[in-house]
Amino acid sequence: MRRTHLLLPVIAVLLVAGFCVTVLVGFEFRGTIEHATAGWIEVAERTGAINVVTAIYLNARLFDTILEVLVFAVAVLGVHFYLTTRGRPERVESIPESNVIRIAADVLLPLILLVAIYVVVHGHLSPGGGFSGGVIAGTGLLLTAIAVGTETVAARFGPRLIERLEWAALLGILVLGLVPVLVGRTPLSDLLPPGEPGRIASGGSLLLYNGLIGLKVLIGSWVIVRHFVEHRGEI
Amino acid sequence: MGPLNGVTIAIVLFGIGLLGLILRRDLVVKLLALGLVNSAVILCLVALGARPDGAPPILAPPSVDAIVDPLPHAIVLSAIVINFAILALALVFVMLLVERYHTTDANRIDRASNDEEDEWS
Amino acid sequence: MELILLPLTRFLFGGLSIATGKASRLFAVLALAVDGILLGRLAAALAADAPVELVLGGWSRGFGIAFTGDRIGLTFAALVWGLGVAVLLYTWKDTLRPYFFMLLHLLIGTSYALTMTGDLFNAYVILELLTLASFLLVGYERRPAQIWASLRYLILCSLGMSLFLLGIAVVYYHTGRLDLVGVAAHVASDPAAPWIRLAAALLTTGVAVKAGVFLFSLWLPAAHARAVPAVSALLSGVVIKMGVIELFRLSAIFPLEVTFTVLGFATGFLGIVYAIQTRDAKRLLAFSTLAQIGYLLIGFGAGSEAARLGALDYAVAHGLFKALLFLAVGEAARLVGGSDLRTLILHRDKIPRTTRAALIVGVLGIVGMPPFAGFAAKAVLESCLHPTTFHAAVALISVGTVVTFAKLIPLLRGRSSGPIDPARTAAYGWLGGGIVLFIPVSAAMVPQSLLAATWGWGAYVEAAAVILVGLGLHRLVRRRPFRLPDRIFRIEEATLVILAGFFLVFWLVHLGWRASCG
């Protein structure tokens, strides 16, 4: 009996070790390979953004980003569907609060939101963008929820408003991608002018996309976090 | 030498995650291991574009020529969001299963759900 | 331009569907109508026989995402559209939330995108979104068994996609390109490099988890069997085919013939063996899907362009009749109160006449009765398989399929007095029509010269022989039931099997390279 118990781990360790060795050997390292970096720099210059990564994922490979926003939307949808159709547990203990947290949250929330807006708006100028900014803002809301309870924060917004805003952001992104068709260009191409690199008003429609994505991620992460807190189950 | 270190660590982490996925029975630990596997691939991607004296991929004046490869960063952005979505939904499902079967042990859940469906009888 | 409009408009309709919360059916119908128009325009553009190329956003290849519309992609997009219509008809009277329709729109939209994408990382993101949408659809009714099946699906597919992403990392490190055309050029210029074999093994293993290859897709029987019938039909008909298409695109870049041949043999035989011994109707269909993927892989492995087209033709045919079977069996199981074969046969008088007719058409299609879809596609496939071992293997798998589906024959006898649902009947009619009229329909993808094989008398003799031998064997097998290991479907063993499968694929790719170069 002992021996069959060990069989699975031994096979697993052997296979996994073999896998790691195979991948490392087959990779054929040759140091850094200089590839298309010059080409990407040119992409960024044509877009008018300083942040090359943003120029890539919001312009050259915009379709990937749209799919990724949809992935996020599906996650929010799924969490919402499964947790709200379960029926609420009878007692939802609130997280014990202390004065320190409440006062700190009071002071920190506006700062966090300001940082989030900064990150989103400067997405094409420095590292950041819609996703990071949205998550920062969502975390700020979570902090406030820890301090005063999720119910209070949720009551602030009104449930309908949040949902409508979220889907409006998603539809906005899709419509923004389709608008070039009306003007006769291919979908997902950039309509607005590049502008002067280094200023906020540059980079074509990158700012718009970042803003919409930031809004969507903010609301989405708040919804997920709120459902996880309110609908935590018991074994 | 730059990418080699990063990729080696990434593959070792991948292996550790795989072992965790296979050997641990608790569903939550399996999900953590899956998260580790996904993060290891992300690390591998970012490490591949690295250069020894690389600068961040921002076109600010002094370091334009030595920027690291920006494409893996764009890829990784999508990969991170996808991993987050998978983890969130998987956790919700684990919670639903725990509520029904009162255990996080994958084998027990498997046996219980097979008995319920009366399949292999 | 239609190439990218197809998925984008679908996503738009999905978003509208859930944003407004009502009129979901109306949006679904509108979406199908718009898709139909776009597909028609694409077909017209392709009539000139040259593929339509598009790099999104107007960037150059290698920097933007490349989309390619060719006949193969168009045919699969049409299959997706057809199954979308069928599912909409089937569920016309059910109460479904807008959430269900949004997931449906996402599934269909991402499938359109995958048939046309020519970029590796785009394929990764699309496959992940497809996994999430279908995983949520499997767990839609929130029954614990479904939740467990879909959780396993998610974990294994996520692991597979991690392997795929690792493969993308290897490819990008060595070529600097993510588009299929660019990568193919680099591979062709230096076929002996070891990284090519590693990348091929990683990418193929990753996609094989989704494509229904037996060793890798051990999540499949549970997920397909436990889902709602409409969802099972889509899973077997659409989602698996998306994995198959991606394998097809990979086979154009890397030397994967030997790999596909061996995997095809294994999948075909193992699927049939498991299908024969199962006692649940839906599991039978799920295992049969695995076996049929074996056909496709053998076709890809045969190497010639004609064999590959034949395999894809069969993939489309399989999508049609497997979807029809799942829909019909699903309704029957719902009316009878269980999907166990004994229960179904016991209460078979509750199954309405239209469902029985649908079952008959589906079974005839899958066993290869002329002149339905299965026969036509199989004839095309077999006429292109020159080594006799391949031909024999396909014939053996066909015999196994007949043995498997002979188990459903008792369902079709006796009186039938169940309620006839017009919506479901319309769905059966739509799919049944596709199966019956398959030969003209598949002429869009398969050139006339190959189709001529379907009219040779050799094909008819073989089909008849297969059916008779199968029926005879069925009598034999019925007396002696046997048990097969079912531990491999647990999640730990499934993961180990995927790992072992990676090594198998790696060794096969190495063999294949040796065979073609050395």
Choose among C345, C353, C363: nearest CA to C421: C353
Q: Which residues of chain B are within 8 Å of residue A45 when distances are taken between CB atoms?
A: 59
Q: Evaluate whether ipTM surpasses 0.90.
A: yes
Choose among C337, C115, C317, C344: nearest CA to C236: C317
What's the distance, Cα to Cα, between the start and end of chain C in Å? 44
**Of A145 and C461, the one with more pLDDT:** A145
Give me the pLDDT at residue A70, please.
Answer: 94
Give dist(CA C209, CA C200) in Å, integer: 14
pLDDT digits (tens, 9 = 90+) for A124-183: 888 888 899 999 999 999 888 888 877 788 888 877 888 888 889 999 998 888 888 777
DSSP string, C409-420: GGGGSS---PPP
Give dist(CA C225, CA C418) in Å, integer: 23
**CA-nearest residue of chain C to B99?**
C144
- Asked whether residue B85 carries a pLDDT value surpassing 90, the answer given is yes
Residue found by looking up tokens 């019925």 in the block? C478
- Per-domain residue ranges of chain B: 2-117
Give me the pLDDT at residue C349, please.
Answer: 78
Give dist(CA C182, CA C62) in Å, integer: 7
Give me the pLDDT at residue C363, please.
Answer: 86
**Residue A25, min C-alpha distance to chain C (Å):** 9
Return the DSSP state at C421.
P
pLDDT digits (tens, 9 = 90+) for C147-192: 998 999 999 999 999 999 999 999 998 888 888 988 898 888 887 7
**Of B103 and C448, the one with more pLDDT:** B103
SS (H, E, C) C3-63: HHHHHHHHHHHHHHHHHHCCCHHHHHHHHHHHHHHHHHHHHHHHCCCCCEEEEHHHCCECC
* C139: contact with B, CB 8 A cutoff: yes
Whether C459 contacts C467, CB under 8 Å? no
Give me the pLDDT at residue C7, please.
Answer: 86
Give me the pLDDT at residue C8, please.
Answer: 87
**Of C394 and C164, the one with more pLDDT:** C164
Backbone angles phi, psi at C179, to 5 degrees: -85, 150
Q: How confident is the model at residue C206 (pLDDT cuts 50, 70, 90)?
A: very high
Distant-in-sequence, close-in-space partners of B116: CB < 8 Å, separation ≥ 6? C144, C145
Most confident of A36-40, C172-176, C302-306: C172-176
Query: What b/e sequence results for C133-149 when a residue is b if at least 16 CB atoms lie within 10 Å of its CB, and e otherwise?
Result: bbbbbbbbeebbbbbbb
Choose among B90, B110, B104, B119: nearest CA to C488: B110
Q: How confident is the model at residue B64 (pLDDT cuts 50, 70, 90)?
A: low
Q: What region, left, alpha or beta, does residue C293 occupy, with left being phi > 0 and alpha being psi -120 to 50 degrees?
A: alpha
pLDDT digits (tens, 9 = 90+) for C24-40: 888 888 889 988 988 88
Whether B96 contacts A231, CB under 8 Å? no
Whether C210 contacts C157, CB under 8 Å? yes
Backbone angles phi, psi at B103, to 5 degrees: -155, 155
Whether A82 contacts A74, CB under 8 Å? no
Q: B69 and A41 in contact by Cβ < 8 A? A: no
Distant-in-sequence, close-in-space partners of A20: CB < 8 Å, separation ≥ 6? B11, B12, B14, B15
* B12: contact with A, CB 8 A cutoff: yes
Neighbours of chain A (3+ CB pairs under 8 A): B, C
Give dist(CA C512, CA C518) in Å, integer: 10
Q: Which of C5, C19, C125 sits opposite A64 (nearest CB)?
A: C125
Q: Which residues of chain C are within 8 Å of residue B31 when distances are taken between CB atoms?
A: 155
Q: How confident is the model at residue A233 (pLDDT cuts 50, 70, 90)?
A: low
In whole angstroms, how far apart are CA A140 and each of A136, A146, C2, C487? 6, 10, 42, 47
- Per-domain residue ranges of chain A: 2-230
- Coil/strand/helix, residue A51: strand
pTM over 0.95: no
Give dist(CA C315, CA C407) in Å, integer: 23
Neighbours of chain B (3+ CB pairs under 8 A): A, C
Give helix A130-148 / helix A150-157 axis angle, nearest 10°: 120
- Asked whether residue A118 carries a pLDDT value surpassing 80, the answer given is yes
Whether C5 contacts C56, CB under 8 Å? no
**Of C21 and A88, the one with more pLDDT:** C21
Q: C158 and B94 in contact by Cβ < 8 A? A: no
Q: A57 and B74 in contact by Cβ < 8 A? A: yes
Q: Which residues of chain C are within 8 Å of residue B29 when distances are taken between CB atoms?
A: none
CATH topology of domain B2-117: Helix Hairpins (1.10.287)
Whether C33 contacts C114, CB under 8 Å? no
Q: Over the Cα atoms of chain B, what is R_g? A: 20
Distant-in-sequence, close-in-space partners of A88: CB < 8 Å, separation ≥ 6? A230, A231
- pLDDT, average across residues C365-381: 76
Structure tokens at A44: 């960024």
- Asked whether residue A24 carries a pLDDT value surpassing 80, the answer given is yes
Residues 18-37 of B with CB under 8 A from A: 18-19, 22-23
Whether C208 contacts C263, CB under 8 Å? yes
- Coil/strand/helix, residue B26: strand
Give dist(CA A19, CA A13) in Å, integer: 10
Q: Which residues of chain C are within 8 Å of residue B94 when distances are taken between CB atoms?
A: 151
The H-or-E segment that residue A42 falls in is helix A37-47
- Asked whether residue A90 carries a pLDDT value surpassing 70, the answer given is no
**Residue C176, min C-alpha distance to chain A (Å):** 6
**Of C51 and A216, the one with more pLDDT:** A216
Q: A31 and B3 in contact by Cβ < 8 A? A: yes
Give me the pLDDT at residue A3, please.
Answer: 59
Q: How confident is the model at residue B89 (pLDDT cuts 50, 70, 90)?
A: very high
- Asked whether residue C234 carries a pLDDT value surpassing 70, the answer given is yes
Give me the pLDDT at residue A115, please.
Answer: 95
Give dist(CA A97, CA C145) in Å, integer: 39
Residues 68-107 of B with CB under 8 A from A: 68-71, 73-74, 77-78, 81-82, 84-85, 88-89, 91-93, 95-96, 98-99, 102-104
Choose among C166, C195, C163, B5: nearest CA to A32: B5
Q: Which residues of chain B are within 8 Å of residue A74 when distances are taken between CB atoms?
A: 85
Structure tokens at A39: 């080409």
Give me the pLDDT at residue A34, please.
Answer: 65
DSSP string, C65-108: -EEEE-HHHHHHHHHHHHHHHHHHHHTTTS---HHHHHHHHHHH
Give me the pLDDT at residue B16, please.
Answer: 94
Whether A120 contacts A210, CB under 8 Å? yes
- Asked whether residue A15 carries a pLDDT value surpassing 50, the answer given is yes
- Asked whether residue C48 carries a pLDDT value surpassing 90, the answer given is no
- Asked whether residue B119 carries a pLDDT value surpassing 50, the answer given is no
- Coil/strand/helix, residue A193: coil
pLDDT digits (tens, 9 = 90+) for C115-138: 998 899 999 999 999 999 999 999
Structure tokens at C283: 């599991």
- Asked whether residue B1 carries a pLDDT value surpassing 60, the answer given is no
**CA-nearest residue of chain B to A9?**
B23
Whether C128 contacts B87, CB under 8 Å? no
Give dist(CA A134, CA A68) in Å, integer: 14
Q: Which of C15, C103, C492 sits opposite A170 (nearest CB)?
A: C15
pLDDT digits (tens, 9 = 90+) for C97-111: 888 999 999 999 999
Q: B117 and C139 in contact by Cβ < 8 A? A: no
Q: C122 and A64 in contact by Cβ < 8 A? A: yes
**Of A26 and B92, the one with more pLDDT:** B92
Give dist(CA C352, CA C415) in Å, integer: 9
Choose among C406, C234, C411, C405: nearest CA to C335: C411
Whether C123 contacts C114, CB under 8 Å? yes
> Which amino acid appears at position A116 of this protein?
A
Q: A27 and C121 in contact by Cβ < 8 A? A: no
**Chain centroid, CA C40 distance in Å:** 23
Give me the pLDDT at residue B120, please.
Answer: 37
Q: B44 and C166 in contact by Cβ < 8 A? A: yes
* C277: contact with B, CB 8 A cutoff: no
**Other residues' Cβ atoms within 10 Å of the Cβ of residue C53:** 14
Structure tokens at C130: 């497809």
Whether C357 contacts C255, CB under 8 Å? no
Q: B74 and A53 in contact by Cβ < 8 A? A: yes
Q: How many CA atoms lie within 13 A of C194 on its CB side?
A: 10
- pLDDT, average across residues C459-468: 79
> Which amino acid appears at position A94 of this protein?
S
Give dist(CA C479, CA C481) in Å, integer: 6
**Of C314 and C22, the one with more pLDDT:** C314
Residues 49-108 of A with CB under 8 A from B: 50-53, 56-57, 61, 64-65, 67-68, 71-72, 74-75, 78-79, 82-83, 86
Give dist(CA B88, CA A140) in Å, integer: 19
Whether C471 contacts C465, CB under 8 Å? no
Choose among A71, B106, A223, B114: nearest CA to C136: A71
- Asked whether residue C204 carries a pLDDT value surpassing 70, the answer given is yes
Q: Pick the residue of C4, C17, C111, C130 with the most A CBs within 10 A to test the interface with A by mutation.
A: C4
- Coil/strand/helix, residue B105: strand
Please, what is the average pLDDT of chain C? 84
- pLDDT, average across residues C374-387: 74
Give me the pLDDT at residue A234, please.
Answer: 55
**Chain centroid, CA B87 distance in Å:** 9
Choose among C256, C236, C252: nearest CA to C297: C256
Omega cis (within 30) before A110: no
